[in-house]
Chain A
Amino acid sequence: MTYEEKGTWVYLVAIVVTFGGYVAVLLARAGGGPVAEVAYVAPMLWAIGISVALTIVGSIFVEVVRPSDSTTADVRDKEISRSGDYVTGMVVSVGVLLPLGLAMAQAEHFWIANAIYAVSALGAVAGTVVKLVAYRRGL
């Protein structure tokens, strides 16, 4: 597994774990009540911050445990990265219609912010999965 592929796996895990954790915290705080009334800003900022930190620390940890031959992306890594980023862009550009619609409908900030976060996470997951499939099965 190349340095880039390992990093992609770490990124996927970080996104899924932090977004899942964020949703779990919101639901726990809501305690069966209306979720839109939960203070979401701090948990969201923590989730985003932890996902960044987890990606960096996780990548370092993986390299320590299983060092790569090279830490430089080659032509195949770059092509795979581009194909994944394209899918992320597609998902986000279509998904952004959701928070846009919510804003136009004057929905609560809670729903708009969470729609943006969810679409971003979904785009990241979709792009990452495409990259991993390309690494395993080919471009």
Chain B
Amino acid sequence: MGKATRVTNTIRTLRFANGEMTQADLAKRIGVTRQTVIAIEQGRYSPSLEVAFQIARVFGVPLDDVFGYPDAHHQ
């Protein structure tokens, strides 16, 4: 399956760095389904700004530490 967004993320890494938080736990804390967390992690869904901030808040890091948007010239 191809990626639907250029937005990258470090959610998987952050989950493991935060006590191996499961996708289900993260989903519950930000009020979405586990499948949505999976889709975000895999780059198949670009979350809304609000959900992005919620994810960053769960991990206690700035938004930039969770999401990135690489320059097209460096792809």
Q: Is B a genuine binding partner of A? A: yes
Nearest CB in chain A: distance from B15 CB, A? 17
* Chain A: minimal CB distance from B57 (Å): 16
* Chain B positions within 8 Å of A70 at CB level: 33
Q: Is the CB of B31 closer than 8 A to any CB of chain A? A: yes
Contact present for A74 and B31 (CB under 8 Å): yes
A137 CA / B24 CA spacing, docked (Å): 21
Q: Is B5 an interface residue (CB 8 A)?
A: yes
Residue from the set A1, A77, A138 with the largest chain B CB neighbour count within 10 Å: A138
Closest 5 pairs (CB-CB, A-B): A138-B4, A138-B44, A74-B32, A76-B36, A2-B35
- Tally of B interface residues using CB under 8 Å: 21
Check if A138 sits within 8 Å of B32, measured CB to CB.
no
B contacts, CB < 8 Å to A:
1-5, 24, 27, 31-36, 39, 43-48, 51
A134 to chain B, nearest CB (A): 8
Q: Which of A3, A74, A75, A137 is within 8 Å of B1, CB to CB? A: A137
Secondary structure class of chain B's binding surface, majority of residues: loop
Contact B51 A138 (CB under 8 A): no
Contact B39 A76 (CB under 8 A): yes
The interface size bin for chain A is 10 to 19
- 9 new A-B contacts, CB < 8 A, other than A1-B35, A75-B32, are A69-B27, A69-B33, A74-B31, A74-B36, A75-B47, A76-B32, A76-B36, A137-B4, A138-B43
Among B2, B33, B34, B45: residue with most chain A CB under 10 A: B33
A24 vs B47: C-alpha distance when bound (angstroms): 44
Q: How far is the CB of B65 from chain A (nearest CB, A)?
A: 22
Q: Are B33 and A77 in contact (CB under 8 A)?
A: yes
Partner of B5, one of A1, A77, A136, A138: A138
Q: Given A69-B24, A75-B51, A76-B39, answer yes or no on A137-B44 (Cβ-Cβ < 8 Å).
A: yes
Closest to A136 in B: B1
* Contact A76 B4, beta carbon cutoff 8 Å: no
In the complex, chain B residues whose CB is within 8 Å of the CB of A76: 32-33, 35-36, 39, 45, 47
